[in-house]
A and B are shown apart, each in its own frame.
Chain A
Amino acid sequence: MNAATYLIPSLAMERLKIKGTLVVWLAVFAPVFVVIVAFVAGYADGEKFYRSGVNPWINFCEHILAGWSLFIFPLYVSLLSALYAGIEHQNRAWGYVYSLPVPKSSIYLSKLLVLSVLVALSHVALVVFALCAGSLMGMLKPAYGFQDFTMPAFMPVACINLFVCGLGLIVIQLFISLWYPGFIIPAGLGLFATLASAIARSFPVSHFSPYLWPFVFLNNTLQVHDWNYSILMWSFTVYLLGAAISLFIVGRRSNR
């Protein structure tokens, strides 16, 4: 039997486990939250943000990307991974899971892939909800001009790249969530790392924090060619290394 023989059923098992849980809802709620905040700010104070003749989508998407990359994305991954691992921790299911004839590597890899796919879907949802919110703004506040322009191309491109920038933090948070039973410690560590990175973002050393990489990638600009593309390589490297290390450590752990 090869690895795919076990990985495919493992993925099907994980799909069943997250059915009807908050894990799926959070994957939708987190991008909705960011878009709603940007929408409310734009609706209430749009005169300050949107000028006549200038594409209002640019400023609207900028607000969404800033909020998402600096705070919401790393916080959301911390909460999502803690909730996801909690499905096993809360039900004391690890002993049962490890007593099934499935390689521990498949168990871990399926969880990593499902978490990664959920985060990817959140970025798709972010673009879709932003599009819907901007269109709604165009109907409710035609003076802002949303109906006269279209969403700029940098928005979906940024979302794809932000997802890749977040791979490093996904693998780290998943490891922490699998290692520590319960919700508080993994979520708390993720919250602490996010806030510390955000507060210290003006210091160059903070740019080594995977929790800040989505923000550092954007480089305070909406110009696609000025983004910090080296972050993508760093993040992907941490993702692969982190997965290998996690496989080794989690696979050797005893379940008492």
Chain B
Amino acid sequence: MSPADRMPGRFQCFHFFQRVERVWFGSKSKQMTYAIETHQLSYCRGQQLIVDNLNLQVPVGSIFGFLGPNGSGKTTTIRLLLGLIRTANPCVQIFGEDIRENRLSILAKIGALIEAPMLYPHLSGYENLEISRLARQVDRKQVENVLDLVGLTREAKKRVEHYSLGMRQRLGIALALLGNPDLLILDEPTNGLDPAGIREIRRLLVELSQVHRKTVFISSHLLSEMEKFVTHVGILNHGQMLFQGPVNRLHRDFSAQSTEQTLEDIFLTLTNSKL
């Protein structure tokens, strides 16, 4: 039975219990515990199953490392979370709201960087940010603030076609930060950055999470770097979640008794054993 056939019955059952929960306990019951929550999220491209019954739970205020080998479905999952890909039953909730019913209010709370930054090379860095500022209808001062945060104030007036890879990446992060979003979805945000830049972004993300209670959902292949600051991880392979939860639980569950394994070791063990 395909996921599409399995889903409707379970989806209806889940929604019945969700309505009972809301009526009995009130509408605020665990809605704000998770910034991102999916229920049996599945997606097929033709005959290929890309995402398979994904039940993602990203706690509010966490730095969630979304890990997986190439082709595991990470970017597709991110696109599903943002509503960029249509499915029959998306089952995605962002801060307790359904993405289908409250698209604009949800997107106003999200800052996203998907794969490479999508920039207009014929415009300057400042103008690229200005486009986002107009869309988010925020104050002009925020553009200067985010430029300062990512260290691009001096290069703001240069056209993006003259930017280096690292500068483009910084501008992509600035675009995600504009509008003071509650949720940051970052796909390989440190791609192209030098070690100082990587450290700076790490420091910024930790501050956003710990001081400003932002939720950071980050996908990256730099496992050694991720291990330094993520609080939760989700490991995806072939569209299925192999593990999801706090980092210390990952180590507790998968490290050998006498030796402490790194995130990379555990990741490779999990993903290789499921091939």
The reply to whether chain A is a binding partner of chain B is yes
- For the complex, give the distance between the alpha carbons of A253 and B83 in Å: 11
Check B131 against A13 for contact (C-beta < 8 Å): yes
A142 within 8 A of B: no
- Smallest distance from the beta carbon of B43 to chain A beta carbons, Å? 10
Check B134 against A255 for contact (C-beta < 8 Å): no
Cβ of A103: which chain B residues have Cβ within 8 Å of it? 104
Check B118 against A91 for contact (C-beta < 8 Å): yes
- Smallest distance from the beta carbon of B95 to chain A beta carbons, Å? 14
B249 within 8 A of A: no
Check B122 against A21 for contact (C-beta < 8 Å): yes
Cβ of A92: which chain B residues have Cβ within 8 Å of it? 116, 118
Cβ of B137: which chain A residues have Cβ within 8 Å of it? 5, 9
B86 contacts which of A91, A99, A102, A254 (Cβ < 8 Å)?
A: A254
Check A101 against B123 for contact (C-beta < 8 Å): no
Interface string of A89-101 (1 = CB under 8 A from B): 0011101101111
Cβ of B114: which chain A residues have Cβ within 8 Å of it? 95-96, 99
Within 8 A of B (CB), among A56-113: 87, 91-93, 95-96, 98-103
Check A100 against B86 for contact (C-beta < 8 Å): no
A16 within 8 A of B: yes
Cβ of A48: which chain B residues have Cβ within 8 Å of it? none
A99 contacts which of B82, B105, B121 (Cβ < 8 Å)?
A: B82
Check B121 against A16 for contact (C-beta < 8 Å): no
Q: Smallest CB-CB separation from A22: which chain B residue?
A: B122
A101 contacts which of B45, B107, B122, B127 (Cβ < 8 Å)?
A: B107
A252 within 8 A of B: yes
Cβ of B85: which chain A residues have Cβ within 8 Å of it? 254-256
Check A96 against B127 for contact (C-beta < 8 Å): no
- Smallest distance from the beta carbon of B57 to chain A beta carbons, Å? 22
A12 within 8 A of B: yes
B122 contacts which of A20, A98, A100 (Cβ < 8 Å)?
A: A20
Interface string of A19-61 (1 = CB under 8 A from B): 1110000000000000000000000000000000000000000
B270 within 8 A of A: no
A141 within 8 A of B: no
Q: Smallest CB-CB separation from B136: which chain A residue?
A: A101
Check B131 against A16 for contact (C-beta < 8 Å): yes
Interface centre among B84, B110, B130 (most CB of A within 10 A): B84
Check B118 against A100 for contact (C-beta < 8 Å): no
Check B84 against A99 for contact (C-beta < 8 Å): yes
Within 8 A of B (CB), among A102-137: 102-103
Say yes or no: A93-B135 contact (C-beta < 8 A), given A99-B84, A254-B86: no
Check A98 against B84 for contact (C-beta < 8 Å): yes
Check B107 against A17 for contact (C-beta < 8 Å): no
B132 within 8 A of A: yes
- Smallest distance from the beta carbon of B89 to chain A beta carbons, Å? 15
B132 contacts which of A98, A100, A255 (Cβ < 8 Å)?
A: A100
Q: Which residues of B contact A (CB under 8 A)?
A: 45, 76, 79, 82-86, 104-105, 107-108, 110, 112, 114, 116, 118-123, 127, 130-132, 134-137, 175
Q: Jot down 13 A-B pairs with beta carbons below 8 A, ordered by A.
A: A5-B137, A9-B137, A13-B134, A16-B127, A20-B122, A91-B118, A91-B120, A95-B118, A96-B114, A99-B82, A99-B84, A100-B135, A101-B136
With contacts A93-B119, A95-B114, A99-B110 known, what are 6 further pairs, Cβ within 8 A?
A9-B134, A19-B122, A91-B119, A93-B120, A98-B82, A99-B112
